[in-house]
A and B are shown apart, each in its own frame.
Chain A
Amino acid sequence: MKLEVTDLTKRYGKTIAADGLNLSLESARVLVLIGPSGGGKSTLLRLLGGLETADSGRIVMNGFPLDPQEDALQAYRRRNGFLFQQFNLFPHLTALRNIVLPLEKVHGHPPAQALAMAEQALARFSLLDHAAKLPSQLSGGQQQRVGIARAVAHQPDVLFLDEPTSALDPEMTAEVLGLIEKLAAAGQDIILSTHEMGFARAVANQVAFVSAGKIEELAVPELLFTAPKSPLCQKFFSRVMRY
């Protein structure tokens, strides 16, 4: 994936979540956003994923500039996949229906084909046994995995993951991270934000340190984690790596 972000600004009232943010990426399969909470990771991800529109600035994804019109953004969202921290699934639908419904209604696949695709997506992540369960009958980790299965069932251009494991305990976290790693290895373009530094280092092609609405530093993980240039980034690491 190729990404070009210029002068991106987004305000929520008095808070500046993106402050003239610039980011240039020639080619990367997995871009990981790290940084302090409230630094603008989520906002950047939501802007890149077409869930929010910027106050000003420009995003060019794979050569195509993002059109801020709602129709164009909806079409853009349909080509991509998105997963939040939690509560991704529709609680009144079974795991299977959660995946089938968008395939039918959003992507226009005939019911039989949608069903086959959904079952395939569940099978791929060993979730077929849970197909008939409601989200409330699944563990948090299983819910996130079904959420990911739904997000990739239509083979998205880019998969956006907003702190996908923040609401999970360590065991479930490992289960979800393993799945993301598998997707990355299979060639899926991914942009994700996370607090799991070890995972970021293992899975990323490029890591961006986001703080105060700006990209403080962008580098390959080997460089960024061993010899960060930015003082803010050094300070952040010294704090999160202490324990």
Chain B
Amino acid sequence: MKNLINFFKSFLLLEFLKGFSVTGHYFFARHITVEYPEEKTPQSFRFRGLHAQRRYPNGEERCIGCKLCEAVCPALAIKIEVAEREDGTRRTTQYDIDLVKCIFCGFCEESCPVDAIVETRIYEYHGEKRGDLYYTKPMLLAIGDKYEEQIAKDRAADAKYR
């Protein structure tokens, strides 16, 4: 009996048609492939990409050198040195993130009491030689300065869930 069913199935090309129906279904269905780089996927405001250091509107850097991000970083990617600045506040003299080590978990952002270190939506960056992905404080501040508008908008959108 089983042999008989198999004979008719193969004779009538049923499996062939079944396969084609799947192909046909996707041929007419709405395409979901993104034509990167011409097209890009939509992003959440919580996207965790390249890091940035933020400033207050008056230009003062936010970071107070509390080292919580350094302590919480599971990949030990952050290196901070601090010193007392002339005005008596504690500031970082060195704030480096090794993006090769970073696992983009977002703990640094979460632990930051002053929203200084943030992860932006940027994910398109690369390094051409060793050390290019070792980001220092001026580099991180520059990213923050450049994308501050977007960063602030994203934090505002997330604020009510925090």
Q: Are A and B associated in one complex? A: no
Which residues of A does B touch, CB under 8 Å? Answer: none
B contact set with A: CB distance below 8 Å: none
